Amino acid sequence: MSKNIRFGGRCDESNRLLQSVLPGFVLTLRDFSLRLVKEGTKLTEDEYLEKCLEDRIGRGVYFNKPRESIRKFFPVFKRRCFAFPVPGDGDVMDKLDSLTFDELSPKFKNVAELFVSYIYSQKPKQLQISKPVNGSMFATLTRKYVDALAKGAVPDVDDAFEMVAKIENGRVKGKCMDLFHSKMREIQLPLSSPLLDEHFNKAKLSALEYMRRNAINDVANVVERDAQMEMDLFWHQLQQKNDADKETYCSDVLSSLKTFNNFQTTLQNREYEVIGGHTKFKQDIGMVLKDA
């Protein structure tokens, strides 16, 4: 095993770091009929496993080496054993493929329920930074290892981790930007600049909070800074659009006012350019503002 996986830049049997990336070791024994007794003392299934993993003097490397490797790479708290008895008598065995679970022997069902309960009670696999491994991350890791083995190479846990982090962070960033744009779509332009600033900052902080919770090993905040740059670019474009929409909106409102149209006509006819025209100008402006 140690020759087929690299971790921490090492590929050797003394690499204890492998314990942190290997799965649990579960031994299931079918049609088990031995009595779990040693020197008059009854053994549990797990104790039986530990006895089986002990070295035997005189049995040689072929016998002892696999047992030593299991003890070395799978700590005792990761080792379990389940001994399944025969599912039933001869009639049951003849119809085993067509029977329901309830029709099997009580002893078999008891072990099966303990086994299933143990498997489903195990916590999800964690990355080195204590992030649970989700489905897409597990698929990436598996593909990386299988491809390496198929090419005769030694899978490197560190390389696989970097690939998982890169792919997962890309997905997290995409989700972050989706959240940001979803929040920004809630507004309707044009808005006053203070209101637009407030909405943008809330949307940005909410999206970045999601990224900080879910990004993997973004030590230099590379992914976060990239997302912030995209948000800021969007923000500048939105500000320009908001200014243009405000100008269009104001023009439409003014164009609909009779007082404004009268003011424009008077202005074009240069009727304010007379003695007392300034007073008339201020009065007409006041009427436009009142109607607006």
pLDDT tens readout for residues 157-170: 777 778 888 888 99
pLDDT tens readout for residues 71-106: 888 888 889 999 999 888 877 788 878 888 888 889
* Annotated domain spans of the chain: 2-124, 157-254, 258-291
Q: Please give the radius of gyration of the chain, using alpha carbons only, rounded to the nearest integer.
A: 37
pLDDT band, residue 251 (cuts 50/70/90): confident
pLDDT tens readout for residues 208-247: 999 998 888 887 888 999 999 999 999 999 999 999 988 8
Question: How far from the centroid of its chain's Cα atoms is residue 139's Cα?
Answer: 13
Say what the pLDDT of residue 209 is. Answer: 95
pTM of the shown model:
0.54
Instruction: Tell me: pLDDT of 144 over 90.
Output: no
Range of lowest pLDDT (15-24, 149-158, 249-258): 15-24
C-beta atoms surrounding 247 within 10 Å = 11
Inter-CA distances, 3 with 14, 49, 157, 238, Å: 11, 25, 13, 56
Measured in degrees and rounded to the nearest 5, phi and psi for residue 145 equal: -65, -45
Superfamily of segment(s) 2-124 = P-loop containing nucleotide triphosphate hydrolases (3.40.50.300)
131-158 burial, b if ≥16 CB within 10 A, otherwise e? bebeeebeebbeebbeebeeeeeebbbe
- Name which residue leads in pLDDT, 129 or 108: 108
Say what the pLDDT of residue 19 is. Answer: 64
Say what the pLDDT of residue 147 is. Answer: 84
Instruction: Tell me: pLDDT of 171 over 70.
Output: yes
C-alpha span between 274 and 187 (Å, rounded): 47
